[in-house]
Amino acid sequence: MKEALIGIAGLGTVGKGTLDLLTANKVKIETGLDVSIKVKGLAEADQNKFKGLKSLEDCSLYSDAFELLDDPSINIAVELIGGETVAKSFVKQAVKKKKHVVTANKALLAKHGRELFELARENGVLIKYEASIGGGIPIVKALQEGLAANNITFVAGIINGTTNYILSEMEKRTLSFDSALNEAKELGYAELDPSLDIDGFDTAHKISLLASLAFKKYFVFENIFVRGIRGINLTDVEYAKKFGFRIKLMAFTRPVGKQFEITVEPTLIPSKILIAHVDGAMNAVSVSGDFVGHTLYYGQGAGAFPTASAVASDIMDIIRLSSHKTGNFETDTGQSVEKGSLMVGGGVIAREDIISGHYLRLKVCDEPDLSTKITSIFIEYNVKIERFFQESDSDGSISLVLLTGACALRNINQSLERLGQLKRLKEQPVVLRVETEA
């Protein structure tokens, strides 16, 4: 029986989960592949993490991940170090040594994927990354294989468990943002510094990769519009509910003419659609194709075992795609993004030009015919008000809550600028995207 020798760099939550899975399900994996698998090396800077590991036959332990790559017998290097510096160097060196790579590092690939994938192509090896998006949801495989014959027309997702937990609890239990965030930290859903999650950048890394998969293009990460949930007010969560919507941190990508939308932002979606009921720390990705129509993928978005499941799946894919030659698994299979295909500058449409519905909450001065005056200004800028209600505030002002028809955000901003010039706004308005399908 042929043998696949694996080296794992990083023994954090996912690294230990991967090791446990490969050990517990070794027989099942080997039977399905007709290949013997063995963890040949483990690398971890924190030597305390080696304590308590079950004895692994003929497995070397390293404090330096790069020493693991010096073992010529290792065919597959699993990068679970995290970050963008050491991890990038590790992946590059592994590829140059003709080792296939499995990684869960979405930030690394979102920012440096073009360089790494092209280096892998030049060296005849693969970089697999199912675990970088959606934890246990096999969304990468779905786009690469199951939906490969379709022109993808739309991808939308709830792909960050921390923010989804916070927004879900705010709505269900009328918690403030800060209370829900603190609870997420206590339960281990949020890091002590949750900025990457709540400011939307973790989600942006993932939608960047999904856009590249869907449209076979590289995109400049800095061109992606990112708005997180920091500062989302319980008041808006409750108003959205009155209108029949729920607020979710949504990622979107779709072709818009010759350009592409790639955005991350809090969005009102109708309570009646399926993805609106993705609660807690769960994730879901919605994909539409020209022939398949609408599809939805749901599952745990993080955690040791769901993510380890995706890592193991990538290891198995590499083995299936490879032939065993001179101690290395070699393959002619290319990456999913065409060589040299890079969208820059105008490739990503500006957020102000994206057309959608909008939710507005305005605190305005009370005056006669207020609604008529404000509506006329929106009409002037081609903004149609579809639903609204108003409430009197204790300070004598009016809270006006509006839902608009589909229009560009630019039109909304121009309307609000005009209202500001007329001194009708008493505080900064709240503007959120509205989507009726996701």
Which pLDDT tens digit goes with each residue over 107-141? 999 999 999 999 999 999 999 999 999 988 999 99
The catalytic position among 106, 128, 206, 248 is 206
- CATH for 139-299? 3.30.360.10
Say what the pLDDT of residue 341 is. 55
Looking at per-residue pLDDT, the higher value among 252 and 393 belongs to: 252
**Arithmetic mean of pLDDT, 232-242:** 96
Asked whether the predicted pLDDT for residue 280 surpasses 60, the reply is yes
Grade residue 324 by pLDDT with cuts at 50, 70 and 90: very low
**Arithmetic mean of pLDDT, 197-223:** 96
- In which residue ranges of the chain is CATH 3.30.360.10 found? 139-299
């697999």: which residue's tokens? Answer: 128
379: Cα separation from own chain's centroid: 36
- In which residue ranges of the chain is CATH 3.30.70.260 found? 351-434
Which pLDDT tens digit goes with each residue over 140-179? 999 999 999 999 999 999 999 999 999 999 999 999 999 9
Say what the pLDDT of residue 345 is. 46
Our answer to whether residue 206 is catalytic in this structure is yes
Nearest alpha-carbon partner for 19 in 314, 316, 303, 304: 304
- CATH for 2-135+304-338? 3.40.50.720
Q: What residues contact residue 365 under an 8 Å CB cut-off, 6+ apart?
A: 397, 398, 423, 424, 426
Asked whether the predicted pLDDT for residue 325 surpasses 80, the reply is no
- In which residue ranges of the chain is CATH 3.40.50.720 found? 2-135+304-338
Average pLDDT, the chain: 92
């991940």: which residue's tokens? Answer: 65
Say what the pLDDT of residue 233 is. 95
Asked whether the predicted pLDDT for residue 333 surpasses 80, the reply is no
Q: What residues contact residue 28 under an 8 Å CB cut-off, 6+ apart?
A: none
**Arithmetic mean of pLDDT, 174-198:** 95
Q: List residues bridging with 218 in a β-sheet.
A: 342
Which pLDDT tens digit goes with each residue over 361-382? 999 888 888 778 888 999 999 9
As a whole number of angstroms, the longest Cα–Cα distance in the chain is: 85
Grade residue 337 by pLDDT with cuts at 50, 70 and 90: very low
Q: Look at 24-28, 51-55, 304-308 and tell me which has the smallest mean pLDDT.
A: 51-55
What distance in Å separates the CA atoms of residue 157 and residue 142, rounded to the nearest whole number?
14
What distance in Å separates the CA atoms of residue 53 and residue 58, rounded to the nearest whole number?
14
Asked whether the predicted pLDDT for residue 332 surpasses 60, the reply is no
Nearest alpha-carbon partner for 102 in 135, 66, 76: 76
Asked whether the predicted pLDDT for residue 334 surpasses 70, the reply is no
Say what the pLDDT of residue 274 is. 96
Say what the pLDDT of residue 2 is. 85
Say what the pLDDT of residue 336 is. 46
Q: Please name the fold of domain 351-434.
A: Alpha-Beta Plaits (3.30.70)
